[in-house]
Structure 1
Amino acid sequence: MEDHIDLYPEVKQELQEALRNNNEVAAARIREYLERQNNIPLKIGITGEVGSGKSTFVNAFRGMSDDEEGSAPTGVVETTTEVAEYHHPRYPNVILCDLPGIGTTKFPADKYLKHVGFDTFDFFIIVSATRFTENDVKLAKEIKKKGKNFYFIRSKIGIDLDNERRKRDFNEETTLLRIRENCVQGLRQQGCESPKVFLVSNFHLQLYDFSLLQETLEKDLPAHKRDVLLFASPTISPEVIHRRKKAFKVKMWLFTALSGVIAAVPVPGLSIGVDLGLLVSAATIYVVGFGLDPPSLKRLAAKSGVSYEDLRAVIMSPLAAVEITSDLIKKVTFQLSTMAGLMAAEEVSRFIPIIGIPLSMSFSAVTTYKLLKLFLDMLAEDALRVSERVLSVNPSL
């Protein structure tokens, strides 16, 4: 597991210090860190002129349809007059805010930012369906002046391409290049230096520049918020699944360390009970992170046109598309005789004089690590199968 420990050297150092004090302190530190990681806030401001598609983008980013309960209201007229907060359906610590278009308010750019609560946002996305306006540029300059990042999104690209396809000399790559250059040139003419414009279709996020936008956002965010964005992002591409799996491996080491520390407490049965709780928590995090929980699969079915039953049909793991309980984890664990043997050996070894507790800690850590790795591998494979099934039917999702 050494290759994962170096990803968080400050956590490793803090844990080592806690272990030198006592196991209870170490356990408390690990639990505190895991809890903190699960609740890191991420708040994104989405703004743009009337009809730009910002509300639809809010819904698309959260993996929701425009007509789904809890979605941001959309329409051909301005539907946002104040800041409207929308929590991510799987990660409530991630909030997308549908902001009123600056052109629809009486505030100049600096007062507008104060009005919407500038300091609470991690970054801003400015959406336009045509050319970015003078108001958009003023807002971008003010955001930059205040030291935060902003990103220009040119939306409704699919509609533009459909219109251009009627021409006999149509070429998609050339058309996309022309749209991007037109936006960049317009922004430069209005005094925006080195603008980055991402071409996005809210209904087909796999196409065009959304993946590039996602990578850019992750790179620009502080390290502790990158995983938050990674798991909240709506795409189900194989690349994103592999990156999520890699991020999960860090937490796998932390769960393993916690299991070993708890095993040092000389109370019969305590470690196995705690390990089951850890395994339930970790498996639930994996299932939700890969979008394999029933609500996420049903939402994906509605958006992709692949039925919920068809998605479940490609799932092989007993942990996906069900509620994760202690009984389920016990059933999966004790089907694996080697794991059951290690758990029994842990309980027996704690009563051996002198070496008993260190042996118990080792057995507990090894058992937890092997099970977590098995769960992670199975669920990642399921996520890839679901992705393949969806993309085979709807490549543009």
Structure 2
Amino acid sequence: MGNLFSRSFDTEVREALLNNDGATAAAKIQEYLEIQINIPLNIAVTGETGSGKSTLINAIRRVGKNDERAAPIGEEETTMEVTPYPHPNFPNVTFWDLPGIGTMNFPAAKYLKLVEFERFDFFIIISDRFRENDVKLAKEIQKKKMKFYFVRSKIDDNIRDKRTSQREFNEERTLTQIRETCIQSLQDQGFESPQVFLVSSRELHLYDFPLLAETLERELPDLKREAFQLAMPNTSLEMIDRKKKAFKSKIKYVALLSAAVAGVPVPGLSVAVDLSLLVGVVTRYVFAFGLDISSLKKISHYTGVPYEELKAIIESPLAATVVTPALLLNLLVQTASLVVLMAAEEGSRLIPILGIPASMAFSFLTIYKALNIFLEVLADDARRVFEKTGLNRKG
């Protein structure tokens, strides 16, 4: 579906540009980019009381438990109804905290109907010990031909307890035992070949969360995959690279939009649109890589690395600040090759007949090159922060 849409879009834009209809081309490209940005992704998180649903939702969204946007946490049932928690920086991605299956208001037999299962893209079934109701739910989801994933929570608690109680503690052996116990429990209840992900909400970079994220990315449709990918916290260097690759694949479309606008003969329009475009795109880069002030402070608190130390290793002036048109314009004019391209774009407008096509080409090259430069340095900053915090060390 995504590929067919892309081919159709490419054809329509090409025809509009060949007909010198920059306004139509710009409108189609703008629509395409907005679809990419706003594609909804709805993730259902369910499990029994005290299983750690809310903690996981907050951890993935990088929201502290005292934040007003946080899902409430408690040992008693705190989720009395289906509750949405949009991602703070990517509101098209919503985590839904579902009441525990088998409660008085949500009996197992009617659970999927009551939570309106059709709205969700996949289910995460989270537990610290998988029980009969978890298996019932998984089987019902299977019947609906929907995706679900078993997540064994609170692994850090288990590891800590075993480390203090066992003389010859071996973490790998302990994790294997926990995984095998979960799989055996699910098989005993009639579930064949289950895959179980061992996760700690306090330390998402450890254990199986990176594998869970990779699995979800692989099994989601293209547009949903990218939505999920960009909303995830950085739990591996590979994840940072995948985000960079996803962003890089969209640069040509943003540059095309710039070129199409440059073909509309309205004085000053091209520069204004270019700066507005850049602000939106670069801000998404900053949020996705966790380089905004709020994310950096949360990483600092989470890892114990002082915020000022994280800021000190960041090289891009676009990180740990608010991205504005003035900031971007200042950066553009500091790069000699971009200054030449911008000057060429403005100068070419004075040339009869061939001026507009030339200005469109220069506009495309300016935005294409600028975004590649900004993306490269921000991705490098994300890698430096990840390594500085020690999250690249597995234990």
Q: TM-score, normalised by structure 2?
A: 0.94
- Structure 2 residue identity aligned to 1:191: G
Residue 12 of structure 1: SS of its match in structure 2? helix
Contact 1:65–1:303, Cα closer than 8 Å, also in 2: no
Match of 1:143 in 2: 141
- Structure 1 residue identity aligned to 2:162: E
Match of 1:264 in 2: 263
Match of 1:373 in 2: 372
Match of 2:345 in 1: 346
**1:379-390 equivalence runs, <5 A:** 379-390=378-389
**1:203-222 equivalence runs, <5 A:** 203-222=202-221
Separation in 1 of the partners of 2:11 and 2:198? 43
Match of 1:89 in 2: 88
Match of 2:285 in 1: 286
Q: Shift in Å at residue 10 of structure 1?
A: 4.8
> Once the two structures are superposed, what CA deviation does each residue of 1:141-169 show, in whole Å capped at 9, x if it has no partner?
11111121111011111111222222123
Residue 147 of structure 1: SS of its match in structure 2? coil
Match of 1:73 in 2: 72
After the TM superposition, which of the residue ranges 45-54 and 231-240 deviates more from structure 2? 231-240
Q: 1:15 aligns with which of 10, 13, 16?
A: 13
Separation in 1 of the partners of 2:83 and 2:272? 43
Match of 2:39 in 1: 40
Report whether the alignment pairs 1:303 with 2:293: no
Contact 2:233–2:290, Cα closer than 8 Å, also in 1: no
Q: Structure 1 residues 161 and 32 mapped into 2: Cα distance closer, same or farther (>3 Å)?
A: same
Separation in 2 of the partners of 1:164 and 1:325? 51
Q: Structure 1 residues 289 and 176 mapped into 2: Cα distance closer, same or farther (>3 Å)?
A: same
Match of 2:123 in 1: 124
Separation in 1 of the partners of 2:80 and 2:210? 30
Aligned sequence identity (%): 54
Residue 182 of structure 1: SS of its match in structure 2? helix
Separation in 1 of the partners of 2:185 and 2:98? 23
Separation in 1 of the partners of 2:106 and 2:240? 42
Separation in 2 of the partners of 1:10 and 1:294? 40
Residue 127 of structure 1: SS of its match in structure 2? strand
Contact 1:317–1:382, Cα closer than 8 Å, also in 2: yes
Q: 1:156 aligns with which of 154, 157, 160?
A: 154
Residue 260 of structure 2: SS of its match in structure 1? helix
Q: Shift in Å at residue 7 of structure 1?
A: 12
Contact 2:102–2:108, Cα closer than 8 Å, also in 1: no
Contact 1:110–1:142, Cα closer than 8 Å, also in 2: no
Separation in 2 of the partners of 1:236 and 1:274? 35
Q: Shift in Å at residue 57 of structure 1?
A: 0.9
Separation in 2 of the partners of 1:68 and 1:29? 39
Number of residues paired by the alignment?
391
Match of 1:249 in 2: 248
Q: Structure 1 residues 208 and 7 mapped into 2: Cα distance closer, same or farther (>3 Å)?
A: farther
Residue 104 of structure 1: SS of its match in structure 2? coil
> Once the two structures are superposed, what CA deviation does each residue of 1:297-352 show, in whole Å capped at 9, x if it has no partner?
22222222222222111111111111111111111111123312221211111221
Q: CA RMSD in A?
A: 2.0
Residue 102 of structure 2: SS of its match in structure 1? helix
